[in-house]
């Protein structure tokens, strides 16, 4: 049984629903099916995400369940969100965005829909649109209680680590970073580190805070920001960010940090590979960094945030951004 958004959202949903949809709004929604999912920041065509056969089979089954729920209740917020999420896991990003866009005609300014659409706009390299959605979501939830977000693919502990507010903040910081707006990225990341209630959230946001500050040339401030992470951390799923933190603190060498980021990369491996490449970049080893950025872009894991960040850096270095 899938986790529900409904039970946790009465105050926010009540404030953002459009009321009873018209008959036309309740008609079955069929997003356009397109082969090309995105054009990279380097001008390359991005198609199907690389997935193992076992993962694809599991995601297909989850999508079939979500589609049935959506077709049964096309104006139900839960059904809209899960249908969009399950489409995205399979790399059907344009269809996912279309679902969220449709949902926002029924539930204008709903923060969950804005958060998820903003995330997927990042995936398809429409960064300005992502920023617009995520900034709007930030305004909508300001002053409201935070809410745990159900995991689409639960971690081994079965414990969700993200929340509505933190996921909005994470993706907004990332979107600013991809636009080279280091100051705004750092400001959002710093706020999220302070608000975090578990080490997984703290270390992931401290990673983006540190990188943003280093890219902004604020090295002393960056070093101060990661000092609290010399202690032992309780990490459920963000081991990749924990390894990078050890690198930044000098407790782990670059080769050791990147040891698992070889061969067929996962999204976590791509995050580590980007962190290591970026570490070389802002420490003056530009040629080595660029080779690693380019290898990451060529690695095929184009949906991973680390790969998108590497792509953005290569595009900037080639004068495309």
Average pLDDT of span 299-306: 92
* In the predicted structure, residue 156 carries a pLDDT above the cut 90: no
Q: What is the pLDDT of residue 7?
A: 37
Read off the pLDDT of residues 10-49 as tens digits, 9 standing for 90 and up: 344 434 444 333 333 333 334 444 578 999 999 999 988 8
Phi, psi of 154 (to 5 degrees): -55, 145
Q: What is the pLDDT of residue 23?
A: 30
User: Could you say which DSSP state residue 6 is in?
Assistant: G
Percent of the chain topping pLDDT 70: 87
Read off the pLDDT of residues 102-140 as tens digits, 9 standing for 90 and up: 999 999 999 999 999 999 999 999 999 999 999 999 999
Q: What is the pLDDT of residue 34?
A: 52
**DSSP structure string for 94-121:** HHHHHHHHHHHHHSTT-HHHHHHHHHHH
Q: Are 172 and 188 in contact (CB under 8 A)?
A: yes
* In the predicted structure, residue 2 carries a pLDDT above the cut 80: no
Q: What is the pLDDT of residue 50?
A: 80
Dihedral sign of CA atoms 135, 139, 142, 147 in order: negative
Vertex 275: Cα angle to 273 and 279 (nearest 5): 120
Q: What is the pLDDT of residue 20?
A: 33
Closest alpha carbon to 3 in 146, 149, 150:
150
**Quick one: pLDDT band at residue 4, thresholds 50, 70, 90?**
low
* In the predicted structure, residue 8 carries a pLDDT above the cut 50: no
Read off the pLDDT of residues 180-234 as tens digits, 9 standing for 90 and up: 999 999 999 999 999 999 999 999 999 999 999 999 999 999 999 999 999 999 9
How does the average pLDDT of the chain come out, rounded?
A: 88
Dihedral sign of CA atoms 79, 81, 82, 85 in order: positive
User: What does each C-alpha distance from 76 to 4, 6, 103, 148 come to in angstroms?
Assistant: 11, 9, 9, 19
Global pTM reads 0.89
Query: Torsion angle, CA of 316/318/320/321, rounded to 10 degrees?
Result: 10
Using the CB atoms, write b or e for 246-283: b if 16+ within 10 Å: bbbeeebebeebbebbeeebeebbbbbbbbbbbbbbbe
Query: Torsion angle, CA of 301/271/247/215, rounded to 10 degrees?
Result: 110
Phi, psi of 145 (to 5 degrees): -60, 145
Q: What's the Rg (C-alpha) of the chain?
A: 19
Secondary structure of residue 271 in the 3-state scheme: helix
Read off the pLDDT of residues 235-259 as tens digits, 9 standing for 90 and up: 999 999 999 999 999 999 998 887 6
**Quick one: pLDDT band at residue 72, thresholds 50, 70, 90?**
very high
Please tell me the distance from the alpha carbon of residue 21 to that of residue 318, in angstroms, as a whole number: 48
Exposed/middle/buried for 294, CB within 10 Å: 0-12, 13-18, 19+?
middle
Architecture of domain 1-17+47-151+162-218: Alpha Horseshoe (1.25)
Q: What is the pLDDT of residue 260?
A: 54
Closest alpha carbon to 82 in 55, 62, 60, 54:
62
Secondary structure of residue 39 in the 3-state scheme: strand
* In the predicted structure, residue 262 carries a pLDDT above the cut 60: no
Percent of the chain topping pLDDT 90: 76
């Amino acid at each position: 049984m899938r986790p529900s958004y409904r039970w946790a959202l009465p105050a926010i949903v009540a404030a953002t629903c459009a009321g009873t949809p018209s008959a036309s709004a309740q008609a079955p929604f069929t997003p356009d099916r397109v082969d090309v999912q995105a054009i990279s920041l380097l001008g390359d065509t991005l198609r199907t995400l690389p997935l193992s056969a076992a993962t694809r089979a599991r995601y297909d089954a989850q999508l079939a369940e979500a589609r049935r729920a959506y077709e049964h209740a096309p104006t139900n917020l839960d059904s809209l969100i899960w249908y969009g999420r399950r489409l995205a896991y399979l790399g059907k990003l344009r269809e996912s965005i279309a679902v969220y866009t449709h949902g926002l005609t029924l539930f204008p300014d709903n923060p969950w829909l804005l958060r998820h659409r903003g995330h997927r706009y990042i995936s398809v390299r429409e960064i300005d649109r992502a920023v617009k959605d995520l900034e709007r979501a930030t305004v909508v939830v300001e002053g409201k209680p935070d809410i745990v977000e159900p995991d689409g693919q639960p971690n081994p502990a079965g414990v969700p680590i993200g929340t509505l507010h933190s996921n909005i903040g994470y993706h907004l910081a990332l979107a600013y970073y991809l636009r080279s707006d280091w100051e705004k990225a750092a400001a959002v990341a710093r706020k999220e580190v302070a608000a975090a209630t578990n080490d997984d959230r703290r270390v992931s946001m401290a990673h983006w805070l540190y990188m943003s500050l280093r890219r902004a040339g604020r090295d002393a401030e960056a070093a101060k920001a990661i000092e609290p992470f010399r202690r032992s951390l309780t990490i459920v799923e963000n081991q990749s960010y924990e390894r990078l933190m050890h690198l930044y603190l000098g407790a782990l060498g670059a080769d050791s940090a990147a040891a698992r980021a070889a061969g067929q990369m996962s999204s976590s491996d791509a995050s580590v590979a980007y962190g290591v490449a970026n570490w070389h970049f802002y420490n003056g080893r530009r040629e080595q960094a660029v080779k690693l950025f380019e290898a990451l872009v060529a690695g095929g894991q184009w949906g991973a945030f680390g790969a998108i960040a590497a792509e953005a850096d290569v595009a900037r270095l080639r004068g495309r951004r």
